[in-house]
Amino acid sequence: MRTDRMDDTLIDVPRGLTNVVAAETVLGDVRGHEGFYHYRQYSAIDLASRRTFEESWHLLLFGWLPSAEELDAFRVRIARARDIPAPVADLLPSIAALTRGADALAGVRIALAALAAHDRIRPLYDEDEDARIVDAIRVSAVTPVLLATLHALAGGREPLRSRADLGHVANYLYLVTGEVPDAQREHAVSAYMTAAIDHGFNASTFTARVIASTGADLAAAVVGALGSLSGPLHGGAPSRALDTLDEIGTPDRIDAWVTETLLTGGRVMGFGHAVYRTEDPRSRMLRGIAENIGGPRVEFAVTVEGRVLELLAELKPGRELHTNVEFYAAIVMEACGIPREMFTPTFAAARVVGWGAHILEQSREGKIVRPSSRYIGPAAPVPLPD
């Protein structure tokens, strides 16, 4: 904890700005000690479990859950916004090659910048509310399609075209896996993606809002948010959770592997969270979905989870370490046919909707985010040497 002085007022500045209130929002909140978070006035887990992805999208964007007629119209609007214009589509093979194939997130940052130029997406500062909403829907709808297209090109496959008859999540799964998902898999991925739309002022959301505060265009703010996902501490853990399961291999190796990892200062991916001091509600929901899907992989994951929690309690007493969303998100996505390299892109395909809502909210504020720093270097001024 550092103490700084500004306008004769002492300000505590914690590392990482933990618990510093940077803005007010009507979009939702995370109550970590309760194991609860919400989108506007509704439980995010209830929405993920009982409503479609598009309904939560509409809620965050407009402020209310849509009627049946409004939902139909919104789905049509989303489907129309998925189109990749030909000049941008022509660039995608080169982008996939440039980013060495597997990194769809790096590729989509380039692709979105190109799309913004093609679509003439204007700075938020110069747009009215209706135009900003059009931009938010456009960028949020096309991002999953760009990600899936780049993934196909990286694998040497001909990209599939979006289908207007499929919902947003089903269409994404179709583009990624090549198959129209059954109802169980569509619901499973929809629940995960809905639960991932928003989660407080995390690193990527805060990044998006800082860029939006400058009056930049919406796509630029989303590209900045996507850049924050290139770091494994934010959004990159689902595939690493599966790596952990692969390294453990069999139930008889759980204790030795976990003990050695913890005692040598390593981290067991999929456990612990910066906010939650109780069970991550997203993990609880996804565990249930995984168990409904079933299979040896799910059974092994449940066994590993139980024993890891016991060992964490023994080896790190007093630490509140629980299973986080990434652990079972990995299991669910794998079971639904999403390849490992597309786990974090799938997270991004969901979170872009939350970024869009936050960007719109920040743009209404009309004030640039401009914090101060505390200089701790050598005393100044010092005379220059001769």
Report whether the peptide linkage leading into residue 381 is cis, meaning its omega lies within 30 degrees of zero. Answer: yes
Amino acid (1-letter code) at residue 354 = G
* 12: enclosing H helix or E strand: strand 9-13
Cβ of 136: how many Cβ atoms within 10 Å?
25
> What pairing do the DSSP bridges indicate for beta strands 36-39 and 42-43?
antiparallel
Candidates 382, 374, 279; CA nearest to 37 is: 279
d(CA 211, CA 201): 14
CA distances from 188 to 11, 24, 198, 249, 293 (A): 45, 32, 18, 25, 9
- Where helices occur in the chain by DSSP H, the ranges are 44-50, 53-62, 68-80, 86-98, 104-119, 129-154, 168-177, 183-195, 203-213, 218-228, 237-248, 254-263, 281-293, 296-315, 325-335, 343-365
Which position among 54, 186, 305, 326 bears the catalytic label?
A: 326
* 28: enclosing H helix or E strand: strand 28-31
d(CA 108, CA 96): 9
- The answer to whether residue 187 is catalytic is no
3-class secondary structure, 266: coil
- The answer to whether residue 273 is catalytic is yes
Which position among 168, 273, 322, 358 bears the catalytic label?
A: 273
- Residues with a catalytic annotation lie at 273, 326
